[in-house]
Structure formats: structure tokens, C-alpha cells
Chain A
Amino acid sequence: EAGVAQSPRYKIIEKRQSVAFWCNPISGHATLYWYQQILGQGPKLLIQFQNNGVVDDSQLPKDRFSAERLKGVDSTLKIQPAKLEDSAVYLCASSSLRTGGHEQYFGPGTRLTVT
């Protein structure tokens, strides 16, 4: 079974530029999560999708961050415009409702550096 795929793995941009990250969850997993992990901290949930609907986006900075999951499979997370404090690793995870949805599987992450 293929794991959660993310791209790109690394990205360096200047502040005020825009950037997009892509995630492909494990096949059949209905729930998809985006996390932000700042250096030295634990991951923080940004947004949770179930199929193509948003379950929780309470910690997503909506003035600059947006995410979508069209067709309930792949997802993209966008930042526009980026700030220095957005430098972090962005992790995507997925879980299956068939197994209760209580175990999340993580992708390798995208490391973003904003200069």
C-alpha cells in the first residue's frame, strides 16, 4: 500500500510570494489533514477534510492560507502572500473511516523557507 505523498519536498521563496503544496493521501482514506510544524515545536493542525468537506479549519490563518480538496482525493494548501513566520515543515496526513479514523498516517512533509 502506497503511503501519503507530498510535493515538493523543499521550497524556498521570498516573503510576499505565493506557494502551493500538494498532497495525495492513501487510497481510500476519507480524512485528510494539513499540519504546520515550526522548528522546535510539535505539529499544529491547520485544516481537516472529510471527503471534500472541511471538518475543522479553526487554526488556519484564512487571510493568507487556503486549502482545497476537490473530488475528495488530492489536496492543495496555498499561502499567499508568505511571511517569514510561515517557515516550517508542512505535513499532510490521512486516516480511514473504515478503521475508526483514529490512526493518522503522515507524509514526508514539505520544508518551506521564507527569506
Chain B
Amino acid sequence: KQEVTQIPAALSVPEGENLVLNCSFTDSAIYNLQWFRQDPGKGLTSLLLIQSSQREQTSGRLNASLDKSSGRSTLYIAASQPGDSATYLCAVTGTASKLTFGTGTRLQVTL
């Protein structure tokens, strides 16, 4: 059974700092890995999707890496802004297109 773990559970940083969120998964037989953003009480916004054959994806100030063999991914956020405050969820797609989520990292960027 696939298990996804995210560390840390919560993070508070001052504006302008670079930060890294971590995700690990137990079964390396995945099709892809996604990072989502979720604002309180709202739905999910897909940030980056990395196919299993890829090593990283970049979008603006976000960079996600994937090391499938070790079961790890990181989300790097450069020059953080208060608007980045949200919960960040990592999810992997396994067999039968089943998506397994981590419990998320709650990020607060302070002024």
C-alpha cells in the first residue's frame, strides 16, 4: 500500500526567504508525482506535475524534483511572498491511476 509523507507539517518563514518542502513515498512504481496548493476550505490547484521519467519541473518561482528510486520529491519556492501562504500537498499516481496524497505542509509567509 502506497504511503506518502510530507515534512515538515507546518512551516513559517519571513518574506523573501527560499524554502524547501519535502515529500517521500514508499512505492516507487508511480506514473507521476504532483504538487498541489490548497487555500483554507478550498479545492486543489495543481502546481507542478513530474512524470516518472523526469527529474524536475519548473514554473516561475517553483521547482520540483523527483528521485523515484529513493522515493523522494522536493518543492523549492524561491523568494517567498505572503501570497504563497497555503497548504502544499504532494500526491503520487500509482496503479489504476490511483492518486495517494500526503497530509500536506502548511506554509505561512510573514511580512
Interface residues of A in 65-115 (CB under 8 A from B): 89, 91, 93, 95, 100-109, 111
In the complex, the answer to whether B43 meets A107 with C-beta atoms within 8 Å is yes
**Measured CA separation A91–B43 after assembly (Å):** 7
Shortest beta-carbon distance from A22 to chain B in Å: 15
Check: B46 CB closer than 8 A to any chain A CB.
Answer: yes
User: Of all chain B residues, which has the CB nearest A108?
Assistant: B43
Check: B44 CB closer than 8 A to any chain A CB.
Answer: yes
In the complex, the answer to whether A43 meets B103 with C-beta atoms within 8 Å is no
In the complex, the answer to whether B102 meets A42 with C-beta atoms within 8 Å is yes
Interface residues of A in 39-61 (CB under 8 A from B): 40-45, 48, 55-56
- Kindly identify which residue among A43, A56, A100 contacts B96, using a CB–CB cutoff of 8 Å: A56
**Measured CA separation A35–B91 after assembly (Å):** 13
In the complex, the answer to whether B89 meets A42 with C-beta atoms within 8 Å is yes
Interface residues of B in 67-109 (CB under 8 A from A): 89, 91, 93, 96-99, 101-104
- Kindly identify which residue among A42, A48, A93 contacts B103, using a CB–CB cutoff of 8 Å: A42
> Chain B 47-80, CB within 8 Å of chain A: the 1/0 string?
0010000000000000000000000000000000
Known: A42-B4, A42-B89. A102 touches B41 (CB 8 A): no
Known: A91-B43, A91-B44, A111-B41. A102 touches B96 (CB 8 A): no
In the complex, the answer to whether A42 meets B91 with C-beta atoms within 8 Å is yes
User: Of all chain B residues, which has the CB nearest A95?
Assistant: B97
Query: Chain A residues near B101 (CB, 8 Å)?
Result: 42-44
In the complex, the answer to whether B46 meets A101 with C-beta atoms within 8 Å is no
The residues of A with any CB-CB pair to B shorter than 8 Å are 6, 31, 33, 40-45, 48, 55-56, 89, 91, 93, 95, 100-109, 111
The residues of B with any CB-CB pair to A shorter than 8 Å are 4, 31-32, 34, 36, 41-46, 49, 89, 91, 93, 96-99, 101-104
Apart from the given pairs A42-B101, A100-B31, A106-B44, 7 other A-B contacts in the complex at a CB distance below 8 Å: A6-B43, A42-B103, A48-B96, A55-B96, A56-B98, A89-B43, A109-B43
